[in-house]
Amino acid sequence: KNNLDYIQHNILSHGSCALQMAVAHRNLAAFREIFSKAKNIAIITGAGVSAESGVPTFRGAGGFWRKWQAQDLATPEAFSRNPSRVWEFYHYRREVMLTKNPNPAHLAIAESEERLGKQGRTVTVITQNIDELHRRAGSKNILELHGSLFRTRCLTCGHEAANYNSPVCAALKGKGAPDPETDDAQIPVQQLPRCEQTGCHGLLRPAVVWFGETLDSDILTRSEKVLDSCDLCLVVGTSSVVHPAAMFAPQVAARGVPVAEFNMEDTPATMRFKFHFQGPCGTTLPPALARHETEPN
């Protein structure tokens, strides 16, 4: 069977268009057969899903905010050195999200959760994305491994809360421009977002997981539980060999549970898993998750 996968993979990579179509179709039909019987589906999503909505990651070539990339600013050290600059960065990212929308991949996931829910089946999203596009698409069961742009946590009392204010505080209004020539706003720390719990007034930080920080143990435990009980796992917009899917997908596959990747990548490592659909997930995912003929109308 591994040999057959390998041959299919080579045909997909190097074969004629007609053969590619034939194999891709057979793969999709086989996936759909398993999908139609799955009771608990885990969907791990990564940066690729957000990228298809035009959400900048500030990583890799050209991924700069002013002179910096995410790994320079998304750290506890950067925040303690210059909380004003880091808040400008996150304020900008929050404001950018007002101009972005869920794409067909987000919508297909949300639609399948609602539809399968009525059949007593579950769909859970485990995402590394912090932009809340899954929530905006209508997904309900979401585990945000890296937190959210739209949550804050108090450095003094630890209180965490949703925060959709725009701007996040008065002093950040009009700040956060990404051009390299922009000067730091140098906002006094008292005017940065502050805790509103009675008598606290501590400095708030974005409730996202920064480089060098560990994942929230409660979210991690709940994710493990979902993955231990799923009978189908999708890896979307990321690879099952990179974080965070690399933590999860291999253990799911080891249980003999089918894992299907939907991404732009073409790496031999994907052959450890049962299905791989290459291309933009906004294109490949909707037909994969659409109503199966065996589902009730």
- Residues of this chain that interact with Zn ion (CB under 5 A) are 154, 156-157, 159, 195, 197, 200, 202
Residue 14 appears among annotated catalytic residues: no
Q: Which among 121, 163, 126, 131 is positioned nearest to 57, based on CA atoms? A: 131
| Catalytic residue (one of 91, 106, 134, 146) | 146
Phi, psi of 210 (to 5 degrees): -90, 165
Shortest approach of Zn ion to residue 165 CB, angstroms? 16
Would the annotation count 58 as a binding residue?
A: yes
Shortest approach of Zn ion to residue 217 CB, angstroms? 21
Nearest CB to Zn ion, comparing residues 204 and 281: 204
Nearest CB to Zn ion, comparing residues 157 and 219: 157
Nearest CB to Zn ion, comparing residues 192 and 233: 192
Nearest CB to Zn ion, comparing residues 126 and 195: 195
Nearest CB to Zn ion, comparing residues 2 and 198: 198
Shortest approach of Zn ion to residue 239 CB, angstroms? 39
Would the annotation count 128 as a binding residue?
A: yes
Would the annotation count 47 as a binding residue?
A: yes
Would the annotation count 263 as a binding residue?
A: yes
Would the annotation count 63 as a binding residue?
A: yes
Shortest approach of Zn ion to residue 205 CB, angstroms? 11
Phi, psi of 238 (to 5 degrees): -160, 175
Q: Which among 57, 127, 125 is positioned nearest to 97, based on CA atoms? A: 57
Residues with Cβ within 8 Å of residue 200, at least 6 apart in sequence: 154, 156, 157, 159
Shortest approach of Zn ion to residue 213 CB, angstroms? 19
Would the annotation count 238 as a binding residue?
A: yes
> Catalytic residue positions?
146
Binding-site positions read 46-65, 90, 93, 128-131, 154, 157, 195, 200, 237-239, 263-265, 281
Binding-site positions for substrate read 90, 93
